[in-house]
Every structure is written in C-alpha cells, then in structure tokens.
Amino acid sequence: MSAQAPGAPLASFEAKWIEARPELALALRFERVGERDARAAFACLVLEIEHAAFGIREAQPAAIKLQWWAEELARAATGEARHPLTQALASRMSAAAIPPREWHAAIVGAMAQRDPEPAADRETLLSAYAQLYVPLGAIEAALFATDATTAARALALSRAARETAVLPDALRDGKLTLPLDLLARHRLARGDIGGESPARSEALRDWFADLARELSAVAAGGQLGVLRATMAAADASRLAGAAKAREPLAALNDALAGLSLPITWAAWRAARRSRR
C-alpha cells in the first residue's frame, strides 16, 4: 500500500463532511492559508461529536463513540493526540492551554442530547442544546479568538433547525424537537405533528422564520470566524426559504441537501464579510 500524503487523513474527513454540509467547502475557500487546516479540523471535530450526539439512533453505539472521543480529547489535552483531527489541532491546543474540563464538558453535553426532555419554550429548547455548544463555543474561542457566546448560539440555532428537519423520526424515537408553547399557539397536540396538516405547516413556518431571523443576525454580527459565519448564513437562508414554502418541512430537507443559488449567495456574502 502506498503511503498517504501528510494532509490525506484530514482531507478524508473534510470530504466526508463537505458531502453532508456543502457550505463547508465554500467557507474553507475564504479561510486564510495559515488558519485553514486548523479551522477545518475543528469544524470536522464538532461535526463528529454532533453525529454521535444526534445522528446515531442506537444508544449503545452512540455512547461508545462519545466515550472514545472523551478519551481521545483527554489524551490530546496532554499532547498525546492519535486521531487525525486532534493531531491537526495539536499545536493550537497546546498554545491555547484549554483546560481538560472544557473538553469533558463538551462530551457530557453531547451525552445529554441523547434523551432530552420536552421544552416548554424556545429558550428552554436552545438551552438544552447549549449544554453541548457552550463548551464547544468556549473551546473555539480559545483556539481561534472568536466570541464564545456567539459561536455557541449559532451552533444551537442551527441544531434546532436540523433536529426539526427530522421531526417524524424524532417523534418515533420519543423526542420532541419543537417547543410546547409553539404547539399551544397553533392548537396542536404532540400527536398532531407526526403527519402533515395546515396547522403543523403554519407552526413550522413560524418556527423556521423565528430561527432564521436570529441566525441571520448572528451570522452578520461580525463576532464569528469565516467558517462559522458562512455555515450560519447558509442555514439562515435555508430556514428563511422554508418559512415561505407551502410544505415547510419538505422544503427545509430539500435545502439541507445542497446549495441553491440563494443559499450560496448568502454563504458567499457571509464569508466575504467575515474575511474582511
């Protein structure tokens, strides 16, 4: 077997996540040369942890993967990284001197996402996601001198959108990805939202429009790096489009699958603005 180029392991993770998040490729084009690999590695690391927290349906495989990451991040904090992503971040992690408790808090927050309680309102729902994203935002700020609170908020808002996109599957798994007060305003019971209906569509339009407004403001606020602002702007554009659609849930899922011209334009503008 031929030897891989030094950047090959990192490139394989980039390719994996660009397929799932195509705006990542656009964002990386605007990153400064000296920042690109570290930014890409951290973004992919966040996506790996998110996948274990939200994307693996079976509890035991998810727990095993999160425990593996807990051990790897503990090793990386002492300069003994073994995974390509943590190895790519090794010098940054050493310079930033991130306390091990921050990495531990991120994994604990990821584990907390496996069995969430129904949220009474929007802020309660976002606070539940914040158990994962506040420590990740603090780590991102330490590594790249961005604003921790803004990064955490952008990640939580995008996660709220992406968890709503899989609403039928979430309901089958016993999870409610919409706040209860939203259902109450639209006179919907939990059992009403598993299938399409005019009331469910109207509730989703309201929810997507609300998330889009804040996510767009966060993306444009100038407190995020290029990559995070680009990804936030792309999701804000997706949500805004879905909020105007006749079938908002289907529209959001279609938008998440690629980059339409409006999404690309929003992401490109965010990248240019953040680069400046």
Structure tokens at 273: 């603005």
Q: For residue 118, which of 182, 61, 60 has the smallest C-alpha distance? A: 182
Contact in structure between 224 and 155 (CB atoms under 8 Å): no
pLDDT in tens, 3-18: 334 456 788 899 999 9
Domains and CATH numbers, the chain: 9-275 (1.10.600.10)
pLDDT in tens, 116-168: 999 999 999 999 999 999 999 999 999 998 899 999 999 999 999 999 999 99
Q: Phi, psi (5° rounding) for residue 81?
A: -65, 140
Contact in structure between 265 and 234 (CB atoms under 8 Å): no
Residues whose CB falls within 8 Å of the CB of residue 32, separated by 6 or more in sequence, listed in order: 275
- Residuewise pLDDT in 10s, the chain (276 residues): 333 344 567 888 999 999 999 999 999 988 888 889 999 999 999 999 999 999 999 999 999 999 999 999 988 888 888 999 999 998 888 888 888 889 999 999 999 999 899 999 999 999 999 999 999 999 999 999 889 999 999 999 999 999 999 999 999 999 999 999 999 999 999 989 999 999 999 999 999 999 999 999 999 988 888 899 999 999 999 999 999 999 999 999 999 998 889 888 988 888 888 776
